[in-house]
Structure 1
Amino acid sequence: MYIVKKRGLLFILAAFSPMFLWAQTNLSVKVVDKDENKPLGGASVSVVGSLANGQTNRQGNILFKNLKDGSYTIRISYVGYKPVEKKLVLPSTEEFIVSLSQQEFIADEVIVNATRANANAATTYKNLNRQDIAKNNLGQDLPYLLDQTPGVVTYSDAGAGVGYTGMRIRGSDPTRVNVTVNGIPYNDAESMGSFFVNLPDFASSVDNIQIQRGVGSSTNGAGAFGASVNIQTNTRVDTSYAELDNSYGSFNTWKNTVRIGTGLINNKFTFDGRLSRIKSDGFVDRGASDLKSFFLSGAWYGKKSLLRANVFSGKEKTYQAWNGVPEEKLFGTAADIEAYISANGLIGEDAENIRNADPRRYNSFLYKNQNDNYQQDHYQLLYSTSVSDKLNLNGALHYTRGRGYYEEYKTGAAYEDYGLAPVAVGDSTISSTDLVRERWLSNHFYGITYSGQYKASDQLNLTLGGAYNEYKGDHYGDITWSRNPLFERAAHEIDKGAFDTRYRYYFNDAKKTDFNIFAKGEYQMANFSLFADVQYRRVTYSFLGFDRNLNNVQQEADLNFFNPKVGMTYRFANNSQAYLSYAVGNKEPVRDDYENSTPDSRPKAERMQDIELGYRLSTAHVNMGINGYAMLYKNQLILTGQINDVGAQTRMNVPDSYRLGLEADVKWQPIRTFSWALTGALSSNKIKDFYEYINIYDADWNVSDQQVNHYERTTIALSPSFVGSSELAFVPVKNGEIAFISKYVSRQYLDNTSNVDRSLDAFFVNNLRLSYQLKFKSVKNIGLSLLVNNIFNEKYESNGYTYSSIYQGDPAVYTSNFYFPQAGTNFLLGLNVKF
């Protein structure tokens, strides 16, 4: 009851705190074109030192309320015009008119405009600028830098946010979160996941990020079934710079970053670069990471055109920690651990490891090279041109090269599992061996994206865009060492007792093409803005899978999707707005769904209808967004445990499921030296009818049957009913800040049965951030930062998995739960020097 009251109070404060403020002085601003004196609708206006910001209406006007008397600086920007800052003194009875001159150069922001929501869009979104991202950028991966945004839950295999990390938004896993970099798809084309470990320290080259929750606006890449994360990398910097960014923290974590930039050369060229290294031993035993990356960018700015080339790469070596910790080890007694050892046949070092390891840091892997090794190189060529005052064109060519493997030590591996015959040695026959294998992925992803934006009139904006992308990937596995011979050998060779070899035991390739085209329009009349967006997407996937005769042959699947979206926004006089939107999203199955099924059992594509209703308010002291949503699924793909016609447990379609929620995102700044940011996300995430299938094993440990259990209105796995965050920030001295950061996540179920015995407990974690900025004559800025995570040493797990079985006629269900414990109190200390 206490937890319910606590999270309810947090949400109420987040949603209704603006009601306690009273207006004092109004500020009316009008933005016009300097040459033609015409109003500029959609110009961004902010009052420096307060939270007041927004966009002008079609008449070029914006009204700010609740400003105290005094001196202010207002900042105005508009795409295609030079940004300006103006000083004013309140109170004033006159309208403040600002004239903008057309920009000599086209701005980098036009590159992502076609796939982003603007300030008046009927879409639920959150914008983060470079300063927001940099505050916590001390070595943890990108998902952890987004942790304070609504509905986000982050997790880390190694427990401290370095290495393999991920995030869920509105309960949707990474395969349902669309990620783009400069409008170019980042999700893996086959698994559809986003592996940020492949781009370590990428946040240091990011200028801004927009997170759209729900289906969002039309974008490139896989369909968004929970959110879209739209990343824009570095933009133009006119002055030369050099920056050193170093941090050290718990678990021997190091981050070293060098950034340099030429500034604007001859009023036309800029060059920027970054080199990074991150190393950490990890919280989990042997959960070490060795990460390297670089980012290079060069741009040419013409009067009406922009050409930018980006080359960036990441290389990771990460010790595997993806098995998690079994429940018997984490929460059980010594007797429970011995039972686990017996049931899983652990002997020798493996048995001693689970007996003696720290329960929260246990890692089942002991082999010294149990590493994941991967390198990913990205090449982007971005072009934008202003054909006229009414028409802008954007295009991009891209190529991504990925290759790598993970190495595993397997004990007692059966020859037949690798397509090998038993080996005769004298009078004996060897049918199994210990071995080391590498499982490789080598892929190419390339294509083109394009868009055109046409301003038909002051009331109507039109956009046409799309993309064509191709993916080619080779999947193969090599045995690199075996204790026993893989093939017939001479007697003197067998005496050696171990065999270095390279035998390829599987190979298959895949090709996927993804074409989409979209058109959208925005029409403004009076205080209304109407929005419509239609997208056609065609996916073709060629893969190795089973046919109806259970032969493993190359096959092809073709899918066609139509995704319409409509919405409307109403602007109130107090710089607030209400919006309503309806969108449809479709999404194809992932690689495993296709490979491990036949045309008769192959799952259908998922479909979702998304309804968003929200209200946004911006005043001098409060920025607020509150919204409700309904995400209604048809044929959502989930794990049920059911075995299909090829004996595989792949995801199955459930006819009807939904997510209903209410979200709030509020920042309150009553004075310049204090602010309180709150988010809250209440949700109900249900499957109307769920059938669980549990394997029944016979005496020979073969699956003889399956037990079926039926559930009604059960909760979708790993979908908490409440996620809340808080950041209290105080500026005790000039250039210094203290921030107290909190995150609460309610209970999460590991499967879709709503069984408390298969769940993650709720957790409430608090962090402390201290920062101070210094300036000297020869140094532009010296920044000191200290981030203390989990200051109250909360013992919690943010991710896990489960499976159940019935053995040898025993009617009891045996359930195995595995958890990923997160680190206790730990710190990161940073030093940033700018020249």
Structure 2
Amino acid sequence: MKLINKSILTVAITLSTASVYYAQQTQDTVQSTRSKDIEEVILQGVTDIAKDRKTPVAVSTIKAAQILERLGNQELPEILNTTPSVYATKGGGGFGDSQIVIRGFESRNIAVMVNGMPVNDMEGGTVYFSNWTGLQDVTSTLQVQRGLGSSKLAIASVGGTINFLTKSADMKKGGVIRLGVGNNDYLKTSFAYNTGKSENGWSSSFLMSRQAGGTYIENTDYEAYTYFFALGYQPNKRHNLQFTLTSSPQWHDQRTYSSTIQNYINYNPDHDGSPYRQYNSDYGYYTNAEGKKVALANRSNYYSKPVMMVNWDFTINDKSKLSTVFYMSNGRGGGTGDIGKVGGKSMTGYYDNMGHFNYDAVFAANQAVNVNTAAAGSTLIRRASINSHNWYGVLANFQHKINDNWNFSVGTDDRYYYGYHYQVASDLYGASGYKDNANKNIAPNIVSNTYDYQKLSWNPFGGKTAPIQDQIGYSNDGEVIWYSGFAQVEYSKNNLSAFLQGSVSNQGYQRIDNFVQDGITKQQGQVVNTKTGFKNLFGYNVKGGANYNIDEHNNVFANIGYYSKQPFLNTVYPSNQQVVNPSLTNEKIFSAEVGYGFRSGKFTANLNLYRTEWRNRWLRRTNQTFTLPDQSTVTGYAEINGITEIHQGVEFDGTYKPTNFLEFQGMFSWGDYYYKGNATGATFDDNNNPITVAGNSSSTTLYLDKVKVGGTSNNSIPQMTASLGATVKPVKDLSIYGTWRYVGKVYSSIDIATFSNQSAQDRGVLQLPDFNLFDLGISYKLRLKDANQYFTIGANVYNLFDTTYISDASTNVFASDAPSKLADGTANTAKKSYQDLGYMYNGLATDNRVLFGFGRTWAATLSFNF
């Protein structure tokens, strides 16, 4: 991988480069805002859609046609990679396992919404895009608001807001049939049809799709379905009702563990010294009854998250409108991994010479164990960690136009959530059962029933819950009650538009531990009960902004805001125990932004400068590997609190269309994200037991002051991105595009052990190599005599030049560090560094655990619209 060529970057900046997807925005001259447009100053209904040259936020909008044309078999968030300050990767590489960062903030601090409905997990704020893969089929508009955003809701969109607007029932009559193929046996088929609106106001729309295959990574097979149904009724001009039901049940094998660079090299089948990017350490082989070697995944995910919504827009009179949405979501599913040990070894002790699990050895070891007389955890099995929930909510917004210049709105956002979290046996790996002593009410407990993760649930009202006698490891529920109110006032006159809004919210958390014995179990020296009772936390936010259109070409805007954000449930009850955090405080976020825009018939450009300070932050780092005093390793997580971050930067974006046949698009963003002050953390294994690191206490101080912000899991955060694209339309209905994308100043995840001393603070976070990627695509429409009927043929190639690059990293091993052992397994008694020993790859020590980005991939589609 080579560093970015400075001349290319200069060209990108000179062109005032912009997001590829700004190509959809109109290039016509924008007229001055008229007072009668007051209802469009900020948003309509509950969807919070920003308006160009009116809403004072940094925004990018993507239409359905662009998603269908360019996404192919990529992950849904990757469509945003040419948006300023956005970094989306494939994560571990499994289907739907993508990760996204906006302005240095990860998904749990980015508000993700569907039709204005918040979908971030109510316990931890996370968003699992594998649950939302069907959105690429049903989204009509995707809008990203970076920073505070224009949402009136009491949601802490610290990094930004992503709002998916799905198709409505009253779309134009017609249908489409699509077929997609791609690398690694990717196959997708879909059918959609809209009835259009009848004379008496009824309309409907539906879609069915299926996709299956594998990804670029070894043994990442998957299968996913999507169903979507919308029914609309508009009896008159005052009332409009829309019912929507959608879900994407799926299962997929995963790669959750980031291996060392040396393992990628060692396990390359070609043995040519280069890394084998497809390598997956989370699966292996066993010999079946026919004597054949069969692949078996240790890590898999399965989930079904149907969402039902009823939207009602009530036009009370010419000045007043009430918009309401009622919704429910009953998610069912979980992910698999291993639990227990056999022969004193966990799964990592059973690798073969190609870095895959030797299941035959695991099965044989398990079969030799008498589970009835052995100690608890003496067999090694695959467990499924269930993460299901029931979620109900109502969102209402009343808007009133006071006069031609003033408008106000008030509303409420109320939700109830109940989450189910427990483990069950998924595959006994040849054992007769698994003995577990975690359940104090049934101890010891031997389970032999298994639950098949590949059985997809289509039931929108939920599925079965495993009985308590089949639950192992842990069994706890999270109950969340959220109610809030918000208000906003808007002003618009001539070229000035402004808003001021605020919200208050109460978030009540209760933790329920089904393995605890009421009044008997002790945790942290306290006697605890099965139910903790609700812990209510009050939060609020206030923000405002203004936009001024200097003339028909130029505009400026500014916004400012402050959040007092409630912490997540696992902060309220740290270490997964029934004891309330004694040092519980709200997170405090202050943000300010200024921007400039230029619009003309051929050229569009935007410039934004922002700064966000985030205090009292808490986070959990998952998928960590810790060394115990006996030098064995255990995987688990770390809890870190008291973190303060500064995120500031500048963004450019724009488009240039010299002719009707040629258009340039691009963007450039530069950020400076760093920690302010130190923090403390504690470590726990995957089954929530406190562990020690290198013989020391599980609590440790993290020396983070002035250190660059890195990721919190198997992901990294870049602080410089750029892209430059061109779209050529040489003849009617033929479109050819190419995109160059640069990612730089990429910082690894923070390793808790690395920052446990002040010397680590001086060297900071590991910086990964910069990289450049190129994509190419083509699309052609073949029209029939009927104007409403046409074929569309499209093809895309991603990472055109098959660049080898590191997309994410989990560790901070520096070239000057000394490995404990040499390549031949002997001790490094001379304490030579990685650099001295030559244990390096592209400037990185080879003991760093990383995820390589995909090599060259491709996808092609054929669709028929009628």
Whether TM-score is above 0.5 comes out as yes
Distance in 1 (alpha carbons) for counterparts of 2:654 and 2:320: 36
Paired residue for 1:292, among 225, 245, 248? 225
Paired residue for 1:672, among 638, 660, 664? 660
Distance in 1 (alpha carbons) for counterparts of 2:8 and 2:103: 17
> How far is 1:436 from its partner?
2.7
Q: Could you tell me which residue of structure 2 aligns to residue 626 of structure 1? A: 607
Paired residue for 1:504, among 471, 493, 500? 471
Q: Could you tell me which residue of structure 2 aligns to residue 798 of structure 1? A: 807
Q: Could you tell me which residue of structure 2 aligns to residue 569 of structure 1? A: 547
Q: Could you tell me which residue of structure 2 aligns to residue 744 of structure 1? A: 742
2:810 pairs with 1:822: no
2:102 pairs with 1:169: yes
> How far is 1:440 from its partner?
1.3
Distance in 1 (alpha carbons) for counterparts of 2:372 and 2:611: 69
Distance in 2 (alpha carbons) for counterparts of 1:693 and 1:473: 26
Instruction: Give the direction of change, closer, same or farther, for the CA distance of 1:807–1:112 in structure 2 (3 Å limit).
Output: same
> How far is 1:607 from its partner?
1.5
Q: Could you tell me which residue of structure 2 aligns to residue 57 of structure 1? A: 33
Distance in 2 (alpha carbons) for counterparts of 1:47 and 1:748: 28
| CA displacement, residues 762-812 of structure 1 (integer Å, 9 cap, x when unaligned) | 111110011111101256121111101000111112223227899999998
> How far is 1:353 from its partner?
14
2:72 pairs with 1:138: yes
> How far is 1:702 from its partner?
4.5
Alignment of 1:181-260 (within 5 A): 181-220=114-153, 222-235=155-168, 237=170, 239-260=172-193
Distance in 2 (alpha carbons) for counterparts of 1:723 and 1:466: 38
Larger proportion of strand: 1
2:681 pairs with 1:719: no
Instruction: Give the direction of change, closer, same or farther, for the CA distance of 1:458–1:327 in structure 2 (3 Å limit).
Output: same
Distance in 1 (alpha carbons) for counterparts of 2:149 and 2:692: 52
Q: Could you tell me which residue of structure 2 aligns to residue 400 of structure 1? A: 329
> How far is 1:55 from its partner?
5.8
SS in 2 for 1:470: strand
> How far is 1:408 from its partner?
3.1
Distance in 1 (alpha carbons) for counterparts of 2:95 and 2:692: 44
Distance in 2 (alpha carbons) for counterparts of 1:648 and 1:308: 45
SS in 2 for 1:686: strand
Distance in 2 (alpha carbons) for counterparts of 1:135 and 1:248: 14
1:780 partner letter: Q
> How far is 1:638 from its partner?
4.5
2:111 pairs with 1:178: yes
Distance in 1 (alpha carbons) for counterparts of 2:617 and 2:581: 18
Instruction: Give the direction of change, closer, same or farther, for the CA distance of 1:693–1:437 in structure 2 (3 Å limit).
Output: closer
Contact 1:169-1:226 at 8 Å conserved across structures? yes
SS in 1 for 2:180: strand
What is the TM-score of this pair, normalised by structure 2?
0.76
> How far is 1:280 from its partner?
2.5
2:7 pairs with 1:15: no
| CA displacement, residues 315-360 of structure 1 (integer Å, 9 cap, x when unaligned) | 11010211123232135x68xx9xxxxxxxxxxxxxx999999721
Distance in 2 (alpha carbons) for counterparts of 1:648 and 1:191: 17
Contact 2:154-2:485 at 8 Å conserved across structures? no
Contact 1:111-1:382 at 8 Å conserved across structures? no
SS in 1 for 2:151: coil
2:865 partner letter: K
Q: Could you tell me which residue of structure 2 aligns to residue 549 of structure 1? A: 525
Q: How many residues align?
A: 732
Identity of aligned residues (%): 19
> How far is 1:413 from its partner?
5.8
**Relative contact order, CA 8 A, sep 6+: which one is greater?**
2
Distance in 2 (alpha carbons) for counterparts of 1:433 and 1:48: 57
Distance in 2 (alpha carbons) for counterparts of 1:715 and 1:690: 13
Contact 2:149-2:160 at 8 Å conserved across structures? yes
> How far is 1:479 from its partner?
2.6
> How far is 1:514 from its partner?
1.6
Distance in 2 (alpha carbons) for counterparts of 1:268 and 1:700: 66
1:580 partner letter: A
1:363 partner letter: N
> How far is 1:395 from its partner?
0.3
2:237 pairs with 1:315: no
Q: Could you tell me which residue of structure 2 aligns to residue 766 of structure 1? A: 774
Contact 2:325-2:394 at 8 Å conserved across structures? yes
Q: Could you tell me which residue of structure 2 aligns to residue 3 of structure 1? A: 4
Distance in 2 (alpha carbons) for counterparts of 1:285 and 1:607: 43
Paired residue for 1:473, among 419, 428, 440? 419
Distance in 1 (alpha carbons) for counterparts of 2:242 and 2:226: 20
Q: Could you tell me which residue of structure 2 aligns to residue 34 of structure 1? A: none
Contact 2:238-2:315 at 8 Å conserved across structures? yes
Alignment of 1:567-716 (within 5 A): 567-597=545-575, 598-600=579-581, 604-638=585-619, 650-654=638-642, 656-690=644-678, 702-704=695-697, 710-716=703-709
Instruction: Give the direction of change, closer, same or farther, for the CA distance of 1:359–1:575 in structure 2 (3 Å limit).
Output: same
Which stretch has the larger CA shift, 225-234 or 133-142?
Answer: 133-142
> How far is 1:675 from its partner?
0.7
Contact 1:775-1:781 at 8 Å conserved across structures? yes
Distance in 2 (alpha carbons) for counterparts of 1:711 and 1:672: 52
Paired residue for 1:305, among 223, 239, 263? 239
Distance in 1 (alpha carbons) for counterparts of 2:55 and 2:588: 23
Which stretch has the larger CA shift, 823-832 or 150-159?
Answer: 150-159
2:56 partner letter: A
2:368 pairs with 1:455: no
> How far is 1:223 from its partner?
1.4
Contact 2:204-2:232 at 8 Å conserved across structures? yes
Paired residue for 2:281, among 364, 367, 373? 364
> How far is 1:3 from its partner?
3.1
2:212 partner letter: K
Instruction: Give the direction of change, closer, same or farther, for the CA distance of 1:439–1:413 in structure 2 (3 Å limit).
Output: farther
> How far is 1:178 from its partner?
0.3
Distance in 2 (alpha carbons) for counterparts of 1:635 and 1:414: 44
2:278 pairs with 1:377: no
> How far is 1:250 from its partner?
0.8
Task: Give the aligned CA root-mean-square deviation in angstroms.
Answer: 4.1
Distance in 1 (alpha carbons) for counterparts of 2:376 and 2:14: 69
Which stretch has the larger CA shift, 52-61 or 369-378?
Answer: 52-61
Paired residue for 1:777, among 762, 780, 785? 785
Distance in 2 (alpha carbons) for counterparts of 1:448 and 1:708: 42
Which stretch has the larger CA shift, 690-699 or 571-580?
Answer: 690-699
Q: Could you tell me which residue of structure 2 aligns to residue 149 of structure 1? A: 83
> How far is 1:674 from its partner?
0.6
Paired residue for 2:320, among 376, 383, 391? 391
Instruction: Give the direction of change, closer, same or farther, for the CA distance of 1:547–1:625 in structure 2 (3 Å limit).
Output: farther
> How far is 1:59 from its partner?
5.5
Distance in 2 (alpha carbons) for counterparts of 1:412 and 1:307: 56
Instruction: Give the direction of change, closer, same or farther, for the CA distance of 1:252–1:390 in structure 2 (3 Å limit).
Output: same
Distance in 1 (alpha carbons) for counterparts of 2:397 and 2:620: 38
Paired residue for 1:787, among 775, 780, 796? 796
Instruction: Give the direction of change, closer, same or farther, for the CA distance of 1:424–1:138 in structure 2 (3 Å limit).
Output: closer
> How far is 1:128 from its partner?
2.0
> How far is 1:550 from its partner?
5.5
| CA displacement, residues 25-48 of structure 1 (integer Å, 9 cap, x when unaligned) | xxxxxxxxxxxxxxxxxxxxx999
